[in-house]
Structure 1
Amino acid sequence: MSTAADGEDGRPAVPDTPVRLFVGPANFAGQGYLWARAVERCVPGVSAVSFAPHVPGAFDFPVDYRVPQATYLDDFEFHERHLAYVRGEFTHVLFEAARPLFGRSYGLNFLNESKLLTKAGLAVAVIAHGTDVRLPSRHAATYAHSPFRGDLVPETPLLEDRAVRNLARIAAFTGPAFVSTPDLLLDLPSATWCPVVVDVDRWHTALPPMERRIPLVVHAPSKSHVKGTDLVETALEGLVARGLIDYRRIEGVPAAEMTRVYTEADIVLDQFRLGSYGVAACEAMAAGRVVIGNVSEFVRDHAADACGTELPIIQADGTDLARVVESILDDPSAARERAAAGIRFVRAVHDGAASAGILQDFLQEGQQ
């Protein structure tokens, strides 16, 4: 699908395929765009368009169709044209993060919009990304390292309200529900895991990890209080002081430059409070880096059951991180083997083929 502006409002032209999928409006970490490309590549007879508003100050990920945030929210004439485009050109819609496609026109409520589109003959589904359905109260009660304990996340009450509201709307929704990471199945058990997607070839490097005298360890938190940066930096102080590692905290780097950051690293520290893994960990594995994170047994077991292969992220809960890193330094050969397993895992689970396969039944709905 071209990202060029092909029509009014910059709307892309839609190929005349039997199935035409519209994905939006979140595109977190470029996932809407990558799911669209995955189904085009892997499911015959499908074309797809991804959509997201441009939020000032946010990182720009590839997307097929972008409008200003103010247009998305409050331009009611645009909403009319946008609805006519979606209703007239597409057969299927995948709502991301329980967010609406048509701004305030239908109460900022994807459920209202889904009923409108279903009535027009479109098949609709929803995919949850994370905080849209993750209940802080459930997470804090069941996960010892949860960021939602104490006052680490001041906006926890707002996140709780949003998750409760979205879960209620999804419960009333009649279409299929998916989640992008396995941990979200604890909040939305009726859903199906549709893995996040990374462009594996983009992250490939011939440079092996763990060959420097002093390994480079990087941590690139999108939100430091949620990802456990405090645990990371407390744990690594001694190793840095002893000159055993070169530690770098990466923040504010555009997505396009993260390829360089990860391919230059030896060890990538993911997250230590959520108990899961997502796009960043997959990118680091695709780059052949040694990845460490705190991943719950539920997520590891689900990944192994669904994929038939062990998740290669090395386990550490934050409190034992220094010991885990030292064990890697003591056996770099074993660490390189784990890094190679990470590449194989991402190719098997996160290159888009598995995700397209999960979405295929939904895309065949109404096409028999």
Structure 2
Amino acid sequence: MRIFQGTTEIAGQMGIISGELKKRGYYAVGYNTFHSYLGYKDHLINTTYHEIAKQVKHIINTFDCFHFHYASSLLLDFKDLPLIKSTGKKMIMHHWGNDVRFHEQAKVNNPYVYTGDSPSNEIIHERLTKISAHIDEAIVQDHEVLPYVEPYYKKVNVAPIAIDLDKFNPKYPDCKKNVPLILHAPTNPEFKGTKYIEAAIKELANTHTFEYKRLEKLSNAEIIKIYRDADIIADQILCGSYGLLSVESMALGKPVITFIRPDIANTFPSGLPIVNANPDTVYEKLKLLIEQPSLRKELGMLGRKYVENYHSKEIVTDKLIQIYTN
């Protein structure tokens, strides 16, 4: 099977998946038109829609299975989808969150959610309608994203975020460390809830001793290197689910603070060791981790095990191959 991944690289997923598929003997490559300071390069052709348009017939002839990401395809306005469908080749769309997060719907079960990164409801509906007219199945990372797309597709599969554990040697928090380091790396401070995290940090600084660093505009590789020295990771406390940075932090053996919506908590595998905090509780959860070094290490070890069991690229790719085959 020759597998195309494209055309928007989100959280390094196209590259990670393509790399693992190649290891298994598949011809796989990601075509990426979204370029950012995060600097994803592995197993990708970083290109433009203009360049892809010039090769569209060749690409359609070359690949057997088209795994699209983030409500994007080969051509603008999804003009390639009927062409691919006419060949009888496989297509599936992978939605990641902000591409499909309907604004009012997101707030039904989450009073904290920020949807400013999402298009208008009308644009989301128009895109999903055009895509699902030609693509029968979708993939989402979890049950937070699932309800937004379920009405549009014949079938929606859930496949977790993938991570290459070979690149993450755990460094568990030192129980004897008296001044813990708290790190926060917001790609978008409004989405992550940075102002609430930093308000809690400022208040805690009056009564507790710790170090705090906010990391911005660094490549993914640079952030991961710095994260190795962290004792506590404060990730995102508005969305209601966890993303790649939480997974990477757990892979490094760090305790992670993230908001998990109560109504979807039981849809994740049991034993998720994330410290669940929203803007109303983040002060208390940070305080807990600052005051309990042994808990930091315990959660770090549990997090590493959780990622090994559910987010390794090998396990996720097994799931994807099953989806492609069926």
TM-score, L = length of structure 2: 0.91
Checking the alignment, whether the CA contact within 8 Å between 2:37 and 2:217 is kept in structure 1 is: no
Return the alpha-carbon distance in structure 2 between the equivalents of residues 253 and 219 of structure 1: 12
User: Any gaps of 5 or more consecutive residues in structure 2?
Assistant: none
Indicate how the Cα distance of structure 1 residues 234 and 361 shifts in structure 2: closer, same or farther if over 3 A, else same: same
Checking the alignment, whether the CA contact within 8 Å between 1:209 and 1:289 is kept in structure 2 is: no
How far apart are 1:65 and its partner, in Å? 4.1
1:69-218 matches, cutoff 5 A: 69=48, 72=49, 74=50, 79-80=53-54, 82-102=55-75, 108-110=76-78, 112-148=79-115, 153=116, 158-189=119-150, 190-218=155-183
Deviations 1:88-125 (A, max 9, x none): 221111011121213xxxxx233x42221122232111
Equivalence for 2:202 = 237
What secondary structure, in the 3-state scheme, does the structure 2 residue paired with 1:29 have? coil
Indicate how the Cα distance of structure 1 residues 335 and 172 shifts in structure 2: closer, same or farther if over 3 A, else same: same
How far apart are 1:218 and its partner, in Å? 0.8
Checking the alignment, whether the CA contact within 8 Å between 2:11 and 2:244 is kept in structure 1 is: yes
Checking the alignment, whether the CA contact within 8 Å between 2:19 and 2:43 is kept in structure 1 is: no
Return the alpha-carbon distance in structure 1 between the equivalents of residues 297 and 198 of structure 2: 24
Equivalence for 1:269 = 234
Equivalence for 1:51 = 31
What secondary structure, in the 3-state scheme, does the structure 2 residue paired with 1:117 have? helix
Deviations 1:257-298 (A, max 9, x none): 012221110000111111010101000000101101111124
Q: Does 1:222 align with 2:187?
A: yes
- AA of the residue aligned to 2:53: H
1:28 aligns with one of 10, 17, 21: 10
What secondary structure, in the 3-state scheme, does the structure 2 residue paired with 1:221 have? coil
What secondary structure, in the 3-state scheme, does the structure 2 residue paired with 1:137 have? helix
TM-score, L = length of structure 1: 0.81
Q: From the two aligned structures, give the one with the greater helix fraction.
A: 1
Checking the alignment, whether the CA contact within 8 Å between 1:127 and 1:179 is kept in structure 2 is: yes
What secondary structure, in the 3-state scheme, does the structure 2 residue paired with 1:163 have? helix
Indicate how the Cα distance of structure 1 residues 165 and 120 shifts in structure 2: closer, same or farther if over 3 A, else same: same
Return the alpha-carbon distance in structure 2 between the equivalents of residues 54 and 139 of structure 1: 25
Tell me which stretches of 4 or more aligned residues in structure 1 moved more than 6 Å.
none
Higher mean C-alpha displacement, 331-340 vs 272-281: 331-340
Q: Does 1:37 align with 2:19?
A: yes
Checking the alignment, whether the CA contact within 8 Å between 2:237 and 2:278 is kept in structure 1 is: yes
Return the alpha-carbon distance in structure 2 between the equivalents of residues 118 and 39 of structure 1: 23
Indicate how the Cα distance of structure 1 residues 49 and 216 shifts in structure 2: closer, same or farther if over 3 A, else same: same
What secondary structure, in the 3-state scheme, does the structure 2 residue paired with 1:264 have? coil
Return the alpha-carbon distance in structure 2 between the equivalents of residues 218 and 37 of structure 1: 29
Return the alpha-carbon distance in structure 1 between the equivalents of residues 217 and 292 of structure 2: 33
2:41 aligns with one of 59, 62, 65: 62
Checking the alignment, whether the CA contact within 8 Å between 1:52 and 1:63 is kept in structure 2 is: no
How far apart are 1:364 and its partner, in Å? 2.1
How far apart are 1:232 and its partner, in Å? 0.5
Return the alpha-carbon distance in structure 1 between the equivalents of residues 66 and 72 of structure 2: 12
RMSD, aligned CA: 2.1
Checking the alignment, whether the CA contact within 8 Å between 1:96 and 1:126 is kept in structure 2 is: yes
Indicate how the Cα distance of structure 1 residues 330 and 59 shifts in structure 2: closer, same or farther if over 3 A, else same: closer
Checking the alignment, whether the CA contact within 8 Å between 2:140 and 2:156 is kept in structure 1 is: yes
Return the alpha-carbon distance in structure 1 between the equivalents of residues 205 and 53 of structure 2: 54
Identity %: 23
What secondary structure, in the 3-state scheme, does the structure 2 residue paired with 1:195 have? coil
User: Any gaps of 5 or more consecutive residues in structure 1?
Assistant: 1-18, 103-107
Return the alpha-carbon distance in structure 2 between the equivalents of residues 279 and 83 of structure 1: 31
